[in-house]
Structure 1
C-alpha cells in the first residue's frame, strides 16, 4: 500500500474514538503501531498520564519497548518523562554519546537501540499540558528526517486531540449523571415531605426535620428514607404513623 494510503488509513483509525469499547491504553497502542509503520524508526512506545497529570500507563509495539517505558516510569527519569514535563520534543541521535538517564540508557543500548526521539502528546498552541509522550526508537544512530517529524507530529496531534475530547466527554457525562441523581433525590425528598406532612398534620419544614432525625437515628441515608416514605415501606412505619395510629402495646393502658 502506498505511503499516502497508509497515512490516510492511520488518521481514519485514530479518529474512531466513539466505539463503546474505547480504552485509552489500547488507543495509544494504535498510535504507536502506526508511528512505527509510517516513520523511519524500528519501534515505538508510549507513556500516558492519568486525570491527575501523573504518568501511570505505558506500552509499546514490542514487549521489549514496553519494558523500556516501564524503566522510565520506575526510575522517574528518561526522555519520555522529560518531554512530558517540558511539553517539547526531545531527540537523542546517539545514546552512546549521551550521559543522561543512566538506567534507561543502559537498558535501551542493551536492547539494541542506539537513538530515541520523543514527541509530547499535547495540543499545539493550547494551554493544557501534555497528557503523554510517544517514544520512537532506532537501531542505528541518527536524527529523524524532516518529513518524519511532520508526519509524527500530525499523528500525535490527532491522537492527543481525540484523547482530550474523549476525556472531556467522559467528564461531562459523569457530571450529567451526578446532576440527574441529585435532581432525582431532591424530587423524591420533596414528595416524601408532602406525604409525611399530610399524614402527620404538620408543616413541610417540620416533616423534613422529622425525616432527617429518623435517618440520623437509624443511620440511614436521607434519600433512602424518603424513598421508603414514598413507596410506603414498612421500614418507616414509625415515621409515617401519627401518635393516634401507633399500635397499643400491653403496657400502653397502664402507662397512659
Structure 2
C-alpha cells in the first residue's frame, strides 16, 4: 500500500491533459490494487457516462457492456456514491444481464469505488479480475479508495485549470473591447468635435438602433477611418 501512495504522490497534475494524468493513475490502480487484472475510470458528464482512462482492454469492454445495458456496478457506484463489489459474476443476482455478458468475456469479480467531487460524485474507479472474490480483502478496498481520491483531485485540478484559462480569455476579450471603444471615441471626438462622454453616447445610441454590440459598432468606426486613410 505504501508503494501505491508513493506512486500517487509522484503523479504530476499541473500543465498536463486530464486524460494523460488519468491514464497514469489507472496504471497505478491496476498494479497496486490487490486482485486487479484491469482497471478503468468512468466519468459521468450530465447523464452520459464514458471511460476516461483504462489499463487492460477487458476493463474497457466491461465498462462498455454497462453503458449498453444502462446499469451495472460502476454506473450505480458513480451515480449513487456507494462502493459496489461483485465476488462472482456467475452467482451475482443484482445485475443479471450484465453479469452474464461480463462473465463471458472472462471477468469473474469486480470492485467499483465512487469518485468524490465537491460534495458529490462524478463517476467511479472500476477494477476487474478473472478470479472470483479477488477484492474480498480489506486492503483492496483501502488501496482503491486512496486511488479514487487521487483521481478526484486530478479532475478537480483540471477543472480549476480550465476555469482559470476561461477567466484569462474573458479578461483579454474585455480589455480588447475597451481598447477599441476608446479608439472609436477618439475618432468621433476628432471628427465631430465632441467630448469623450458625448462620443460614448453616440456609440451607445448606434448600438441600440442597430441592435448590435457596442464593441462591433466601435470596430466599424475605427475600420472606416482606417479605410479612408
**Structure 2 length normalisation: TM-score?**
0.83
Give the Cα–Cα distance (whole angstroms) in 2 for the partners of residues 18 and 122 of structure 1: 20
Residue 6 (structure 2) aligns with: 8
SS at match of 1:119: strand
Q: Displacement, 1:81?
A: 0.6
Q: Is the 8 A contact 1:59 1:65 kept in 2?
A: no
Residue 176 (structure 1) aligns with: 168
Residue 131 (structure 2) aligns with: 140
Residue 20 (structure 2) aligns with: 26
For residue 49 of structure 1, the aligned residue among 40, 44, 48 is 44
Give the Cα–Cα distance (whole angstroms) in 2 for the partners of residues 229 and 165 of structure 1: 43
Q: Displacement, 1:206?
A: 4.1
Residue 212 (structure 1) aligns with: 207
Kindly indicate which of the two structures has a greater share of residues assigned to strand.
2
Higher Cα Rg, which structure = 1
Higher mean displacement: 59-68 or 105-114: 59-68
Higher mean displacement: 56-65 or 130-139: 56-65
For residue 90 of structure 1, the aligned residue among 64, 79, 84 is 84
Distance 1:194 1:94, change over 3 A: same
Is 1:131 paired with 2:122? yes
Give the Cα–Cα distance (whole angstroms) in 1 for the partners of residues 41 and 218 of structure 2: 50
Give the Cα–Cα distance (whole angstroms) in 1 for the partners of residues 65 and 17 of structure 2: 23
Q: Is the 8 A contact 2:38 2:58 kept in 1?
A: no
Distance 1:163 1:183, change over 3 A: same
Is 1:117 paired with 2:111? yes
Q: Is the 8 A contact 1:115 1:141 kept in 2?
A: yes
Is 1:159 paired with 2:154? no
Is 1:200 paired with 2:179? no
Residue 101 (structure 1) aligns with: 95
- Note the residue ranges of structure 1 that are not aligned, 5 or more in a row: 241-256
Residue 245 (structure 1) aligns with: none
Q: Is the 8 A contact 2:78 2:122 kept in 1?
A: yes
Aligned pairs, how many? 223
Q: Is the 8 A contact 1:11 1:155 kept in 2?
A: no
Q: Is the 8 A contact 1:114 1:141 kept in 2?
A: yes
**Structure 1 length normalisation: TM-score?**
0.75
Provide Cα deviations, 1:145-189, integer angstroms capped at 9, x if missing partner.
112221211121122112212202211320232133123213321
